[in-house]
Amino acid sequence: MELIESPLFGRNVFDMRTFCVVTGASKGYGKCIVDHFCKLLAAGSAMVLIARSESLLLDVKNQLEAVRSEILVDIKATDLSKGDEDTFKGILLNSLKNIGKAVEDFDQAVIVHNAASMGDITKKMTEIGSSGNIRKYFDLNVTSVISLNHEFFKLFNRKTVKQVVVINVTSICAIQPFKTWSLYCSGKACRDMLFRTMAIEEPDIRVLNWAPGPLDTDMQVLARSQTGDTDLKVMFEDMHNTGNLLPCEVSVKKLVELLQENTWDTGSHIDFYDI
């Protein structure tokens, strides 16, 4: 029933000096988000790129700095699944130190929870047994997200910046089950509900569950090579062979438009094909 909302609702997200964190930023969709955001964000903004590979992150950082030197870029190579609250706190504080800025140098904070894994997509749920592998999946796709999000909000919240935007990169799998994708579907459903809850808890923050569509990324290579269910595997092969996968930039452009308009219902699940 709260009518409180972000006072900057309707204002272009990219028009503000922004501290922006993107996970899974070294390749695929995350890198594409980073490329586009870097071109659009107000001068004085900073981007913190998190992924596992130091060398890939360095490449991305160099590319961004060549394109637009007035955006500060820091990178952190880490395996999010192994991190805890202290790890994530350290990453954020070090990033501020590395770029020589403080929280009050920014008007807005944006976090894009993009890093994800597929889990075991070769087996039916009844065939997945290893507690260790299941735990590893949820460590990366759920636990680290909550914990990183927490540390981010300890620094950046409506007491310290004018607007906070949280983007959860989700999937149609959060809504619809797919055979042999039980971990991926359930993990995405879990994350959607987490951010739906956050959206009602923090009505003055902008929360988006963004389903980017079937992207032409490494994850799709996995999907069409490893999916245990034959029909689904063939569907992915067909999408690839007939050129029906989305280039990342086509999907990111729609995300950018949403953020420029900044009028989506906070907490909602919006699919590429919805808009």
CB of 193 to a copy of itself, least distance (A): 4
Binding site for a copy of itself (CB under 8 A): 83-85, 124-132, 134-135, 138-139, 142-144, 146-147, 149-151, 153-154, 157, 174, 177-182, 185-194, 196-202, 229, 267
CA neighbor of 155 nearest in space, from 98, 209, 215, 92 = 92
Residues in CB range of 272: below 8 A, 6 or more apart: 211, 212, 213, 246, 251, 254
Between 126 and 242, whose beta carbon lies closer to a copy of itself? 126
CA 210 to chain centre: 9
Spell out the alpha helix ranges (H) of the chain. 28-40, 54-67, 85-99, 131-138, 144-155, 182-201, 218-226, 230-241, 248-261
| Distance of alpha carbon 59 from alpha carbon 66, whole angstroms | 11
- What is the separation of C-alpha 248 from the centre of its chain, rounded to a whole number of angstroms? 13
Q: How far is the CB of 174 from a copy of itself (least distance, A)?
A: 8
Measured from the CB atom, the residue of 89 and 224 that comes closer to a copy of itself is 89
Q: How far is the CB of 252 from a copy of itself (least distance, A)?
A: 26
Write down the least CB distance from residue 146 to a copy of itself, Å.
5
95 or 180: CB nearest a copy of itself: 180
Q: Which is nearer to a copy of itself, 106 or 181 (CB)?
A: 181
**Based on CB atoms, which residue is closest to a copy of itself, 70 or 127?**
127
Closest approach of a copy of itself to the CB of residue 206, in Å: 13
Is 23 within 8 Å of 149 (Cβ atoms)?
Answer: no
